[in-house]
Amino acid sequence: MKILVTGATGRIGHCLVDVLLKRGDQVRAFVMPADPHRSRVEQPGVEIVEGLLTDRPSLAPAVKGVDAVIHLAALLPSGRTAEELFEVNIRGTFNLLEALLPHADHIRRFVLASTDNVYPDNQGLRYLPVDEAHPRLSNNPYGLSKVICEDMCLSYMRRCGLPVTIPRFGLTLAGQELFDPNGFRAPFYVLKPFLARLRQTPTPDPIDLEAIRQLEAEDSEGVKLVVARNPQGRVNVDMINDPRNVADGLPLLLDKEVAVGDVFNLMAPHPFAYDTFTQYVSKLTGWPVIEVTVSWTFHHDFSIAKARTMLGYNPTRDIFQMLDDGWNILKPRLM
C-alpha cells in the first residue's frame, strides 16, 4: 500500500513511518519546507514531498497515486492563537480533502488524527472512564478545531465515499521528555514550573497560598519534584501515551473494515497516579520529592476498550516503561 503521512516528522509521525516500512508499505512523507526534523524520515522507502497544508497547490503532488492517507499534521495548542489553529487545522484539513476529491474512489482509507481535547476539560467530564460516546464539549480553540475536522471528514465520506476513520489521541510524549524540568507536563510535578503555575492562579484558595509558601521555602538550585494532594489526599491521575503505542495502533485502522466511519480512542494502556510516577522519576534521577496540599487535583481516564475489542489495539508501553526507555536514552548524555 502506498500511504501519504502528513506530519511525518513529528513525535508520532516518524515512529509511524518506521512501522509502515517494516510492514512493507510505501511511504510518502509530506514535510514542511526547511523542516528541522526532516532527517527523521530520510531513509530508503520514503518519498518526501514538501509543502504546506495552507498551500493547496502543494498538496496535489502529495495525494496523487496514494492508496491511503494518515493525516497527523496539525498545530498543537501551546502558544497558538485561535486564528492560527483555524488556518492550519481546519482550513488545512479542508485543503487536503479538496485535493483528494478527484482521487476519492481510489482511496482505501483516510485517517484523521483527533484528540481527547474534543471532550470537555476535567471539570466538565460527565463520567469516567471517558469513551468515544462521551459528548464532545470542548471549550478551547484547539479542541474546537478538531471537532470541526472530525465532522468535516465524515461529511466528505457521505459526500464522495471517502472511507474515513478517526483515532483520538491523548497526551503523547517521548519518554525522555518526561525528564525535562521545563517540559510540557513538568508544571504538574517539577517544583519550579509547578510553583509558577500556582502563582498564576487568578484568585488562589488559602490552601494554594499555603502551598506556594511551602514551595517557595523549598525552592533552590537544582531540580526538585512535587507530589500534590487535594485536602482529601487524592493526587492527580493522568494518561500519557508513548508515540510508539500510537504508531503501532494506526495501521490497524488501515486494515480493519470496521474502522470506517467510526472513532477510536488510541491512548495509553491505563492511567497512572502522580505520586507513584514522581517517586519513580526520583528513583531514576535522584531528584528529591516534596509533598504539598493543593485545593484541587484532576483525574484523566480514557477507555480504550473499543479499540482493543474492534481493532486489536494493544499498547504495551506504560508510563514506567516510558520512563525506563527515556532514562536509558538520557543517562549516557548526562554522564
Same domain flag for 284 and 151: no
Residue 247: which of 72, 116, 69 has the closest Cα?
72
Could you tell me the CATH number of the domain that includes residue 206? 3.90.25.60
pLDDT in tens, 15-62: 999 999 999 999 999 999 999 999 999 999 999 999 999 999 999 999
Closest listed residue to residue 313, CA positions, set 324, 299, 302, 322: 302
Q: Do 73 and 191 fall within a single domain?
A: no
**pLDDT value of position 335:** 57
Q: Please write the tens of the pLDDT for every residue from 157-171.
A: 999 999 999 999 999
What is the tens place of the pLDDT at every residue in 190-206? 999 999 999 999 999 99
What's the gap between Cα 140 and its chain centre? 16
pLDDT surpasses 90 at 86? yes
Q: Beta strand 2-6 with 26-31: parallel, antiparallel or unpaired?
A: parallel
Considering the domain architecture, whether residues 219 and 293 belong to the same structural domain is answered as yes
Percent of the chain with pLDDT over 90: 96
- Domain presence at residue 32: yes
Give the C-alpha distances (Å, rounded to integers) separating 6 from 74, 112, 113, 214, 235: 9, 10, 10, 46, 37
Band of residue 282 on the pLDDT scale cut at 50, 70, 90: very high
Looking up residue 74, the CATH number of its domain turns out to be 3.40.50.720
User: What pTM did the predictor assign?
Assistant: 0.96
CB neighbour list of residue 229: distance below 8 Å, 6 or more residues apart: 235, 275, 291, 292, 293, 294, 297
Residue 122 and residue 215 share a domain: no
More confident residue, 133 or 335: 133
Average pLDDT estimate for 308-331: 97
Tell me, what's the pLDDT at 85?
Answer: 97
Q: Could you give the number of structural domains in the chain?
A: 2
- Indicate the pLDDT class of residue 219, thresholds 50, 70 and 90: very high
Give yes or no: residues 183 and 291 share one domain.
Answer: yes
- Domain end (from 109, 144, 169): 169
Q: Are residues 112 and 214 in the same domain?
A: no
pLDDT score at 207: 98
Arithmetic mean of pLDDT, 208-216: 97
Evaluate if residue 188 carries a pLDDT over 80.
Answer: yes
pLDDT above 60 for 137: yes
The DSSP call for residue 222 is S
* The pLDDT of residue 82 is above 80: yes
pLDDT above 70: residue 334: no
pLDDT at 189: 98
Tell me what the mean pLDDT of segment 83-104 comes to: 97
Q: Position of cell 524540568?
A: 181
* Residue in the block written with cell 494518515: 70
Q: Based on the domain organization, do 98 and 217 belong to the same domain?
A: no
Same domain, 7 and 109: yes
Mean of pLDDT values over 79-97:
97
Domain-embedded: residue 8: yes
* Structure confidence at residue 323 (pLDDT): 98
Domain encompassing residue 284: 176-237+272-299
Share of the chain above pLDDT 70, in %: 99
Q: Of 110, 136, 169, which closes a domain? A: 169
Residue 331 falls inside a structural domain: no
d(CA 263, CA 73): 18
Mean of per-residue pLDDT scores for the chain: 96
Point out which residues pair with 247 in neighbouring strands: none
pLDDT at 131 over 80: yes
